[in-house]
Amino acid sequence: MAMNDANGSRWRAQPDWRRLGPLAAGTLLVLLGAFCAWQTWLIADENAAAARVQQARDQAAQQLAQVVAAQHATVAKAASALDPTLLQGDRAALLAALHAQLPQALQLDVYSGNLDEVLHANFREFGYAKAAQLMGAQAEDGLPPMQSVSHGAGDRRLSLVLPLGPPQRAQAWLWVELPFAPVRQAFEAVSPAAGRLDLRQGDARSDMRILSNGSPGAEAEVEARAVPGSGFSVAAALPVAFIVLPRSWPLAALLALAGIGGGLYLLWWRLRRRDVVPAEPDIDIEEFQSSRQATRAAAPPARPAAAPPAPAARLTSTVAVDPVIFRAYDIRGVVGSTLTAEVARLLGQSIGTLMREQALTEIVVGRDGRLSGPELAGALADGLRAAGIDVIDLGAVPTPVVYFATYHYGTGCGVAVTGSHNPPDYNGFKIVVGGQTLSEDAIQDLYRRIAGNALEHGGEGGLRQVDVLPDYLERIVSDVQAERRLKVVVDCGNGIPGAVAPQVLSGIGCDVVPLYCEVDGTFPNHHPDPSDPHNLEDLILAVKQTGADLGVAFDGDGDRLGVVTKAGEIIYPDRLLMLFARDVLARQPGATIIYDVKCTGHLKGQVLAAGGSPLMWRTGHSLIKGKMRETGAELAGEMSGHFFFKERWYGFDDGIYAGARLMEILAGDLEERTPEEIFATLPKGVSTPELKIELAEGEHYRFMEKFRAQASFGDATLITIDGVRADWPDGWGLVRASNTTPVLVLRFDADNAAALERIQQAFRVQLRAVDPALKLPF
């Protein structure tokens, strides 16, 4: 670059690129060559690594086959040692003899050779999985396969059916449960090398994982090895290798040699020419020196050098952030009051700071259809970017689509800016970081970071807009299909599901009649909350007027589902969960099914009857998802209408996907029953919807503390994991503090009206003992 001195003479001030260029190019080529050499090693090792993992898979399958054969032999030996006359004698004596021969058995029973008592049993009480195993044994040629059954979290057993008497014509069938420990020990004794081994229930195509051994980050392999003599298979998951070059090690090696060889030659050439004469100046050097001396003589005295600027002080926010908006499983407040754009920006910085600590760099952000959504989502993104996080802006989408995008784009992080089912002046944030939905202390930690000004700032995170809705639609439509066309009215209450739900249900094969599907953040027709029966009145009328098969409704952000029949009956979510559980357990026997404390008492028996493991848990979408991760549950649901499918889906709450799965079940009924006929198979008593008592902000929590301390319900069983639930043999009642709005939530369920009134009266007495002025809605 040419510049002028004080006298107007030109001189050259530029780097000597003839010397630096080859050095830089040579260094870059060496680095590229080294990278290619590393890729060569990875490519060469990939096949060997795959072979090691597959060898471990085959070894595990072989060892498990030996264990299964040994267990079969033990049971067969015990059966053959029986006195044949016992088969025609007293059943109690036969069971006693079997117990003596098989002291290790955890449970055993004997059934007739024609299995009449099984064929005519009530499968809900007898157990679907057990009945299927017994009846399947009649068709087996040789020893029936050994299966795995679950008796709750952590208690897994082996089950086996064996004929008693001549193998060609069994006089009786022995059903026995044995400890699972030998299978577990044999499986875990095999090293998976650098990959992972999965023990699955079912054939080689099954995805029901029982045990896992090795790296959780390994990529699953399609092919699995069946374990002979059992219903198990072993799948190998291959180690992940970061390979970007074509998977040809000779090509990668050639690129490595070319890069390293070319780079070293350039460096050697530059070193040989290090004494070459540099570039000539633009002016005569003596003239330039003379002019500079004259300039120095005429110049004023030099000023003292200025001190370097001090480091920028840490920014301190003067915005008051109300801690009340940081609730149990999300953040929610009144727009313009407790929730402003500046609060959203600080929240973005706080989330970004948490992500930086976990080495997470990218997040998806979406918003519902509320009028305040664009401003709050933009401010949130600004805060995230200030913390150095790259933001993927999804625009206006349902909350489940935000969750889907965290998987689809591999971020593991997302924020849905949504007020959910709250009034139009509310808004809030549902947050996922590192694959986990934040709740309770994790949400309070975000507030502590803001209050303590422990926030990252000065970052320059990127921002890009994407349209993920086509991918979400394709993912559902490619997996879920209605085998016969059902006519369904879809009521979105002017919430954001109106932009997606009709297309999803139409795409799986339904005839859709849209109702209030235009997105309008003022919710001009009715509030988008399907848990309130008043909000379903228009849907019930529309179903009757159009002659539809049924109607479905969604809340403001699309993560909850409501259902009504042609006759106007509301099918409450706990009964829907029974139907979903039957469907899932038909493919995943023994799976854990989670439900919240507001669900009917009939649900536990229905899950057990379908061969599942029921588990009651606290209300709250983030709390349910955390329990699902902990237990490996395949399905969960809440009375509020949240449904969480892990089987065939991702485990997050998605009202739209749940609606599609419901249509698949109803339309796929082999007897082609109407939806009403199918719903009639779900037991129901006399129950109330969710009843609410409004209190001042925070007062509902203080009320529950007093109620929990002094309430007394006699001989009822009390469950206090979330509020107070009192269970009697013929019904139950519940009162708990909502974590989204300042209300007490109550629900009652009983076998008959008399029992319901008795239970409600017991709660009236206890509630008014705490606060005589309390206005009760029942």
Give 72-113 pLDDT, tens digit per residue.
888 888 888 887 777 777 788 888 888 888 998 988 888 888
**Residue 596 phi, psi (nearest 5):** -90, 175
d(CA 723, CA 714): 17
Residue of higher predicted confidence among 562 and 272: 562
Other Cβ atoms within 10 Å of 15 Cβ, number: 9
Q: What average pLDDT is seen over the chain?
A: 84
Q: What percentage of the chain carries pLDDT values higher than 90?
A: 55
Long-range contacts of the stretch 109-118 (C-beta < 8 A, 24+): 109/174, 109/175, 109/176, 110/164, 110/172, 110/173, 110/174, 110/175, 111/172, 111/173, 111/175, 112/172, 112/173, 113/163, 113/165, 113/169, 113/170, 113/171, 113/172, 113/173, 115/173
Give CA angle at 155 (150, 160), nearest 5°. 50
Could you tell me the pLDDT band of residue 342, with boundaries at 50, 70 and 90? Answer: very high
SS3 521: coil
Cα separation, 776 vs 745, in Å, equals: 11
What is the rounded CA–CA span in Å between residue 366 and residue 52? 43
Q: Residue 475 is encoded by which pair of tokens?
A: 């993912």
Q: Point out the catalytic residue in the list 148, 233, 350, 420.
A: 420
Give start and end residues of each alpha helix (H) in 273-325: 285-298
Q: Which candidate, 461, 227, 470, 209, places its Cα nearest to that of 360?
A: 461
Mean pLDDT value of segment 285-295: 42
The tokens describing 357, both together, are 């600590």
Q: What is the pLDDT of residue 290?
A: 47
State pLDDT tens for residues 513-531: 999 999 999 999 999 999 9
Mean pLDDT in residue range 562-567? 97
Q: What pLDDT, on a 0 to 100 scale, did the predictor assign at position 312?
A: 30
Strands 156-164, 172-179: parallel, antiparallel or unpaired by DSSP? antiparallel
Those residues with Cβ within 8 angstroms of residue 406's Cβ, 6 or more apart along the chain or in another chain: 364, 412, 413, 414, 432, 435
Work out the pLDDT band at 414, boundaries 50, 70, 90: very high
In this predicted structure, the answer to whether residue 376 has a pLDDT above a threshold of 70 is yes
Q: What gap in Å lies between CA 581 and CA 242, rounded to an integer?
A: 40
**Residue whose tokens read 């009215």:** 489
DSSP string over 463-495? EEE---HHHHHHHHHTT---SS--EEEEE-TTS
Least confident of 21-30, 48-57, 492-501: 21-30
Dist. CA 551–CA 70, nearest whole Å: 55
Task: Please report, for the chain, how many H helices and E strands are present, in that order.
Answer: 22, 32
What distance in Å separates the CA atoms of residue 617 and residue 636, rounded to the nearest whole number? 10
- Asked if 595 contacts 110 with a C-beta cutoff of 8 angstroms, the reply is no
| Helix, strand, coil fractions of the chain, as percent rounded to 5 | 40, 20, 40
**pLDDT for position 231:** 82
Kindly tell me if the per-residue pLDDT of 1 is higher than 70: no
Q: 332, 345, 527, 618: which is the annotated catalytic residue?
A: 332
Lowest mean pLDDT among 186-200, 218-232, 442-456: 218-232
414-417 and 724-728: which strand pairing?
Answer: unpaired
pLDDT of residue 673 exceeding 80: yes
Q: What is the pLDDT of residue 268?
A: 66
Per DSSP, 146 falls in state: B
Among residues 156, 196, 602, 642, the one annotated as catalytic is: 642
pLDDT for res 229: 83
Reduced to 3 states (helix: H, G, I; strand: E, B; else coil), residue 326 is strand
SS3 label, residue 745: strand
Q: Cα(355)–Cα(113) distance, rounded to whole angstroms?
A: 62
- Per-residue pLDDT, 266: 65
Cα 517 → chain centroid: 27
Pairing of the two strands 592-596 and 561-565: unpaired
pLDDT mean over 489-503: 97
**pLDDT for residue 670:** 86
Closest by CA position to 342, among listed 314, 315, 366, 370: 315
The answer, yes or no, to whether residue 698 has pLDDT greater than 90, is no
pTM attached to this predicted model? 0.60
How many CA atoms are closer than 13 Å to the CA of 470, on its beta-carbon side?
2
Q: Which two tokens stand for residue 6?
A: 């004080």
Distance, CA of 414 to CA of 399 (rounded, Å): 10
pLDDT tops 70 at residue 45: no
Matching residue, tokens 């090690």: 249
Query: Do 535 and 527 contact (CB within 8 A), yes or no?
Result: yes
Mean pLDDT lowest among 293-297, 610-614, 665-669: 293-297
Contact 698, 705 (CB under 8 A): no
Beta strands in 478-572 (DSSP E): 487-491, 511-515, 550-554, 561-565, 570-571
Q: Is 420 a catalytic residue?
A: yes
Contacts 24+ apart (CB under 8 A), 512-517: 512/488, 513/487, 513/488, 513/489, 513/542, 513/546, 513/548, 514/489, 514/490, 515/489, 515/490, 515/491, 515/539, 515/542, 515/551, 516/491, 516/492, 517/490, 517/492
Q: Are the CB atoms for 197 and 234 separated by under 8 Å?
A: yes
Residues 80-87: contacts with CB under 8 Å, at least 24 apart: 82/164, 84/165, 87/164, 87/165, 87/171, 87/172
> Cβ–Cβ contacts within 10 Å for residue 549, how many?
22
pLDDT digits (tens, 9 = 90+) for 542-559: 999 999 999 999 999 999
Ranges 255-259, 605-609, 722-726: which has the least confidence: 255-259
Q: How far apart are CA 485 and CA 743, in angstroms?
A: 41
Nearest-angstrom CA–CA distance, 330 and 528: 19
Which amino acid belongs to residue 147? Q
Q: In angstroms, how far is the first alpha carbon of the chain from the final one?
A: 86
| Alpha carbons 398 and 521: distance in angstroms, whole number | 13
pLDDT of 589 higher than 90: yes
Give the whole-angstrom CA distance, residue 711 versus residue 715: 13
| Bridge pairing between strands 570-571 and 561-565 | antiparallel
Counting residues of the chain whose pLDDT is more than 70, the rounded percentage is: 83
Please return the burial class of 282, using the count of CB atoms within 10 Å of its CB with bins 0-12, 13-18 and 19+: exposed
Calpha distance 667→43 (Å, rounded): 49
Residue with tokens 């700071």, as numbered in its chain: 353
Q: pLDDT for 176-212, tens place per residue?
A: 999 988 998 998 899 887 788 888 876 545 556 788 8
Q: Each residue of 593-639: pLDDT tens digit? A: 999 999 998 999 999 999 999 999 998 888 899 999 999 999 999 99
Q: How far is CA 756 from CA 596, 689, 723, 730, in A?
A: 20, 13, 19, 9
736 vs 171 pLDDT, higher one: 736
Q: Provide the token pair at 439.
A: 């709740």
Give pLDDT, residue 736. Answer: 94
Q: How confident is the model at residue 27, as a pLDDT?
A: 78
Distance CA(655)–CA(497), nearest Å, equals 9
- pLDDT tens, residue by residue, 126-178: 776 777 777 777 666 555 677 776 655 567 888 888 888 776 677 888 889 99
**H helices present in 217-340, as ranges:** 249-272, 285-298
